[in-house]
Amino acid sequence: MNNFHKPVLLKEVIEYLNVRKDSKYIDATLGGGGHTEEILKLGGKVLGIDVDKDALDFVRDRITQIDNSENLTLFCGNFKDIDTIAHLNNFDKVSGIILDLGVSSHQIDTLERGFSYQKNGPLDMRMDKNLSIKAADLLQILTKGELNELFNKLGEEYSSRRISERIVSARRIKKLETTDDLLRAILGNDHEVSAFERARILSKIFQALRIAVNDELNNLREVLPKAIDLLDKSANLLIISFHSLEDRIVKKTFEEYEKKGIGEILTKKPIIPSLEEIKNNSRSRSSKLRIFKKI
């Protein structure tokens, strides 16, 4: 189809959304529109939300190829405002909501976005291009202690102190403006580090910066109660996460709402992709799907 985003856990998502003709659904992380397209095929009406204008433009460009595209409403916004966005588009009570929290393949593969350490590009990492702070700005203004805390908490990186020291030393000589600048600062002259360990460290540091730039964890905490409130009775909220920080927030929130009697958790353990899916889409490897049913 494209390099935008292969929908993760598509079969499981469609099964648990239990799509019914003319019922309303919200895809709060539209991406390449893979989940949305399947909902439309089954006759559902979809409000597709994305903070990244590229995603909306992509889906808008191919909308004529999508079955029942007249049932699709697109909206550019942050999913933390899902209640307001839903109200503006007459989606006040819905039959299901999906949030796929992963970075899209398009974002990773577009070097100007700076999401990947495997491609040299500007240290940007903003999903919403209207945000004022880029990754390069954080690396320039945060103190050594603040960088250490950032990498430790949001990257869960045990060598965060050493990496913070290296970044502070490197920026004294030259502002870190590209992904390659950051790679050189982090790895230094450490030639003995294995390729596996290099990839592990870099993915953790890039994850921490991306989460901080986009305020991802706070956005997730904010959207969950609003999404549950938007659900009709017996409707499901599906969340696909890609790292333990997100997954813990989702798990804890679902447990709290189950204790309050608002609904029940349908996934005592998260659903993970099959070996076949991982083989066909390596980026699905770390995905976890949790589902909450409103009662």
Q: What is the pLDDT of residues 202-240, one digit of tens each?
A: 999 999 999 999 999 999 999 999 999 999 999 999 999
Residue 4 in domain: no
More confident residue, 6 or 136: 136
In whole angstroms, give the CA distance from residue 291 to residue 295.
13
Helix (H, G, I), strand (E, B) or coil at 264: strand
Give the N- to C-terminal CA distance of the chain in Å, as an integer.
38
Share of the chain above pLDDT 90, in %: 88
Least confident of 41-45, 88-92, 103-107, 126-130: 103-107
Task: Tally the domains of the chain.
Answer: 2
Q: Which residues contact 82 (CB under 8 A, 6 or more apart)?
A: 26, 28, 49, 97, 223, 226, 227, 230
Q: Are 151 and 205 in contact (CB under 8 A)?
A: yes
Residue 30 in domain: yes
Among candidates 26, 8, 21, 97, which has minimal Cα distance to 293?
A: 97
Residue 49 in domain: yes
In whole angstroms, give the CA distance from residue 204 to residue 76.
29
pLDDT attached to residue 5: 57
Q: Are residues 32 and 69 in the same domain?
A: yes
pLDDT attached to residue 191: 64
Q: Are residues 55 and 18 in the same domain?
A: yes
Mean pLDDT within 140-155: 98
CATH number of the domain enclosing 267:
3.40.50.150
The residue behind tokens 């450490």 is: 190
DSSP classification of residue 113: G
CATH number of the domain enclosing 173:
1.10.150.170
CA angle 25, 266, 94 (to 5 degrees): 15
Which of 214, 230, 258 lies at the terminal end of a domain, its last residue? 214
Residue 48 in domain: yes
Examine the pLDDT at 1 and tell me if it is beyond 50: no
Which of 214, 242, 261 lies at the terminal end of a domain, its last residue? 214
Q: Are residues 101 and 23 in the same domain?
A: yes
DSSP classification of residue 284: G
Mean pLDDT within 26-46: 96
Q: Please give the residue range of the domain that contains residue 28.
A: 10-106+216-294
Q: Are residues 17 and 99 in the same domain?
A: yes
Helix (H, G, I), strand (E, B) or coil at 24: strand
In whole angstroms, give the CA distance from residue 268 to residue 254.
10
pLDDT attached to residue 145: 98
Share of the chain above pLDDT 70, in %: 98
Q: What is the mean pLDDT of the chain?
A: 94
Among candidates 211, 217, 134, which has minimal Cα distance to 176?
A: 134
Which of 164, 183, 214 lies at the terminal end of a domain, its last residue? 214
Residue 2 in domain: no
Q: Are residues 206 and 121 in the same domain?
A: yes
Q: Are residues 135 and 82 in the same domain?
A: no
CA angle 162, 219, 159 (to 5 degrees): 10
Q: How confident is the model at residue 4 (pLDDT cuts 50, 70, 90)?
A: low
Q: What is the pLDDT of residues 155-177, one digit of tens each?
A: 999 999 999 999 999 999 999 99
More confident residue, 102 or 218: 218
Q: Are residues 197 and 255 in the same domain?
A: no
Least confident of 61-65, 78-82, 271-275: 61-65
Residue 5 in domain: no
pLDDT attached to residue 283: 86
